[in-house]
């Protein structure tokens, strides 16, 4: 069981399990327009993993990112604390810049709202991230 801690570290096996869930989720993406499939998986404090994939729409503004699908699934299940999130951009070239694999701005704002303390992992990247790394001076309402 993972306990809440400011210095929380996930074991290598927990991290790999979460990244693998994101990679598998990407296979379920609906991306006929961009052909850029993305999967995400969030680990809740309960130990449950919730998955999501990007779902596109011909009206691009109505598309939904994998990260938001996974976060929404966790919220609907009643999870109050998200420990970690993994993202997998399975169609990104192996040598793609990191910026092509990280959550978009809208997903970063969702993370600020729903998982501000989560560890963020990107498939194929050795390092992990925290939200202040990706969204410094994030907008929030007190």
Q: Do 35 and 90 touch, CB atoms closer than 8 A?
A: no
Which pair of structure tokens corresponds to residue 94?
A: 């192996």
Check 48, 67, 113, 125 and give the catalytic one.
Answer: 67
113 in active site = no
In order of 21, 52, 57, 75, 90, the CA distances from 24 in angstroms are 5, 10, 21, 21, 9
Please tell me the distance from the alpha carbon of residue 38 to that of residue 53, in angstroms, as a whole number: 6
Neighbours of 29 (CB within 10 A): 23
Active site residues: 67
């Amino acid at each position: 069981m993972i306990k809440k801690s400011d210095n929380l570290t996930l074991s290598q096996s927990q991290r790999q399990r979460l990244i693998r869930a994101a990679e598998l989720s990407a296979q379920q993406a609906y991306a006929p327009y961009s052909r850029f499939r993305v999967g995400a998986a969030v680990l809740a404090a309960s130990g449950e993993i919730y998955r999501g994939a990007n779902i596109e729409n011909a009206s691009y503004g109505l598309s939904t990112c994998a990260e938001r699908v996974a976060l929404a699934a966790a919220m609907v299940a009643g999870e109050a604390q998200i420990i970690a999130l993994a993202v997998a951009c399975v169609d990104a070239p192996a040598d793609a810049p990191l910026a092509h694999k990280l959550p978009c701005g809208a997903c970063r704002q969702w993370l600020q709202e729903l998982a501000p303390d989560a560890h963020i992992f990107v498939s194929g990247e050795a390092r992990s991230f925290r939200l202040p790394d990706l969204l410094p001076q994030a907008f929030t309402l007190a």
